[in-house]
């Protein structure tokens, strides 16, 4: 059974739900406005059972959008404040790019400098090759004219960090209830009223505030809130574009090369920064066959948790009506999470494109389920906002795991303190045409 009532009900025990619960309980105690017993987290499976539990774990601030950079600088600080407990590895992050992205990456570097986020920017093909070969003597990627080396950031072990967040929340008195599925919401005064109760398969919970932190399941809670499936988006042309789907789904393609993680050590034998390469150079596989001649990108890092070198590539949009997309990675459609051969070929060929040490290693790619389904907003950036008077929706548009600091900001907003870092991500931006700028990266979230 679930409790009859709770001041705060949070749906989802992933990175956002647990971070919000932990920070909210701590704020309540500090301000003497309650304690963790006022906070209940519901999850239909358990902590980290969804998108958070299979995330690659990369933590970066490589964003073309100023609002995302400021928000990520805050989140990196949260990771750093509890590095050991959260299994965070502050090895840094590198964005390696072709000439088509040079100007955009230069702009990122300049704006990182303005907010005091340390990074080194290398320009020119010869200088970039020398910089990369100082780090990796076998570096061989072609056509690279800029390298942005972020000195902060890195990666974290996803399930270890989730367990740590759950422990911190419970230490503050938060109740995490697992195996509880939300089946509906009760709205006072009809469809336009506030949420008065959360209906679950274990009972009904009356609540003063609801937080939706359901990752790719946000669409289902959005429907329960009786919010629109399509919206009007005012584009860069200044014109309104009606009937845009609020949610689209992409298959996030990630996987592991089953080698000793130490194989990716740098020239000094140390764990290297997380590497992200975007390029327009043609890509060939081990047999010399063309993989693609269109712009492509990969990211990768050593990972003891997954037992190899782990990373990913561009997501693939799921071309079917949203209502037919199922997002339960543990349901009968689990086979849809098994990484496709097309991705495996591109990603392993991409590793060999970058390092001679990975030539001929494509057969070592793991065939275990990986990646996941990401739920994207109309502009592929998050929505953090209050709906129905008392329901705060965290819709991360698949930027989730790295954004651990969002929970701290949401906690303050729940206690009546609007947060400037969340303001650019309000839902009203779509109607107002205040969209985030887009880059030339092949990744929709950069």
Contact between 147 and 130 (Cβ < 8 Å): no
Q: Which domains does the chain have, with CATH numbers?
A: 1-89+154-237+380-446 (3.50.50.60)
pLDDT of residue 93: 97
* Residue-level pLDDT at 260: 96
Alpha-carbon gap, residue 162 to 401, rounded angstroms: 10
Evaluate whether 334 touches 369 at the Cβ level (below 8 Å): yes
Buried b (16+ CB within 10 A) or exposed e, 36-67: bebbbbbbbbebbbbbbbbbbbbbbbbbbbbb
- Distance (Å, whole) CA 291 – CA 69: 33
Contact, 25 vs 169, CB < 8 A? yes
Chain-centroid distance, C-alpha 66: 17
Per-residue pLDDT of the chain (446 residues; tens, 9 = 90+): 899 999 999 999 999 999 999 999 999 999 999 999 999 999 999 998 888 877 888 999 988 899 999 999 999 999 999 999 999 999 999 999 999 999 999 999 999 999 999 999 999 999 999 999 999 999 999 999 999 999 999 999 988 999 999 999 999 999 999 999 999 999 997 667 899 999 999 999 999 999 999 999 999 999 999 999 999 999 888 899 999 999 999 888 889 999 999 999 999 999 999 999 999 999 999 999 999 999 999 999 998 888 899 999 988 888 655 555 555 543 433 333 334 788 999 999 999 999 999 999 999 999 776 667 889 999 999 999 999 999 999 999 988 889 999 999 999 999 999 999 999 999 999 999 998 877 767 766 66
Sort residue 333 into left (φ over 0), alpha (ψ -120 to 50) or beta.
alpha
In angstroms, rounded to a whole number, what is the distance separating the alpha carbons of residues 301 and 158? 14
Tokens of 243: 């009937």
Helix, coil or strand: residue 175: strand
Cβ–Cβ < 8 Å for 334, 327: no
Which residue is associated with the tokens 């693609």?
A: 292
How far is residue 275's CA from residue 291's CA, in Å, rounded to a whole number?
A: 21
What pLDDT was estimated at residue 336?
37
Kindly report the length of the chain: 446
Count CB atoms within 10 A of the CB of residue 344: 20
Would strands 39-43 and 88-89 be described as parallel, antiparallel, or unpaired?
unpaired
**Alpha-carbon dihedral 19, 30, 180, 187, rounded to 10 degrees:** -100
pLDDT of residue 71: 96
Q: Contact at 8 Å (CB) between 9 and 40?
A: yes
Beta bridge partner(s), residue 316: 251
Please, which residues bridge with residue 148 across strands? Answer: 95, 121
Ranges of H-type helices in 172-217: none
Distant-in-sequence, close-in-space partners of 283: CB < 8 Å, separation ≥ 6: 290, 291, 292, 293, 296, 346, 349, 350, 353
Q: What is the 3-state secondary structure (H, E, C) of 148-167?
A: EEECCCEEECHHHHHHHHHH
């Amino acid at each position: 059974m679930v409790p009859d009532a709770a001041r705060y009900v949070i749906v989802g025990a992933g990175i956002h739900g647990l971070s919000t619960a932990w920070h909210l309980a701590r704020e309540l105690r500090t301000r003497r406005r309650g304690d963790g017993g006022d906070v209940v987290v519901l999850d239909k499976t358990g902590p980290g059972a969804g998108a958070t539990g299979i995330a690659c774990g990369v933590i970066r601030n490589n964003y073309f959008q100023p609002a995302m950079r400021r928000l990520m600088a805050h989140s990196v600080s949260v990771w750093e404040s509890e590095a050991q407990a959260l299994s965070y590895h502050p090895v840094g992050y590198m964005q390696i790019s072709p000439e088509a992205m040079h100007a955009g990456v230069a702009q990122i570097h300049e704006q990182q400098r303005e907010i005091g986020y340390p990074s080194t920017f290398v320009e020119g093909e010869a200088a970039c090759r020398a910089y990369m070969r100082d780090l990796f003597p076998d570096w061989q990627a072609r056509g690279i004219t800029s390298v942005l080396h972020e000195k902060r950031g890195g990666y974290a072990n996803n399930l270890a960090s989730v367990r740590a967040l759950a422990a911190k929340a419970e230490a503050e008195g938060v109740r995490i209830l697992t195996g509880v599925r939300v089946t509906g919401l009760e709205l006072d005064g009809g469809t336009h009223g506030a949420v008065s109760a959360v209906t679950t398969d274990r009972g009904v919970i009356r609540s003063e505030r609801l937080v939706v932190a359901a990752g790719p399941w946000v669409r289902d809670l959005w429907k329960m809130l009786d919010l629109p499936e399509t919206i009007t988006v005012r584009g860069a042309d200044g014109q309104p574009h009606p009937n845009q789907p609020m949610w689209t789904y992409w298959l996030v393609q990630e996987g592991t090369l089953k080698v000793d993680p130490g194989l990716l050590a740098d020239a000094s034998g140390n764990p290297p920064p997380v590497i992200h390469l975007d390029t327009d150079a043609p890509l060939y596989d081990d047999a010399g066959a063309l993989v693609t001649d269109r712009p492509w990108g990969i990211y990768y890092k050593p990972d003891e948790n997954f037992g190899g070198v782990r990373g990913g590539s561009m997501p693939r949009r799921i071309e079917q009506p949203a209502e037919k997309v199922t997002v339960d990675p543990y349901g009968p459609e689990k086979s849809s999470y098994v990484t496709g051969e097309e991705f495996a070929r591109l990603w392993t060929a991409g590793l060999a494109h970058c390092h001679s040490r990975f030539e001929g290693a494509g057969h070592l790619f793991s065939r275990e389920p990986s990646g996941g389904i990401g739920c994207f907003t109309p502009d592929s950036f998050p929505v953090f906002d209050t709906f129905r008077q008392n329901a705060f929706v965290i819709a991360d548009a698949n930027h989730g795991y790295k954004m651990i600091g969002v929970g701290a900001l949401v906690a303050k907003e729940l206690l009546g303190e609007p947060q400037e870092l969340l303001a650019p991500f309000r839902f009203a931006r779509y109607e107002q045409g205040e969209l985030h700028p887009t880059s030339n990266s092949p990744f929709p979230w950069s």
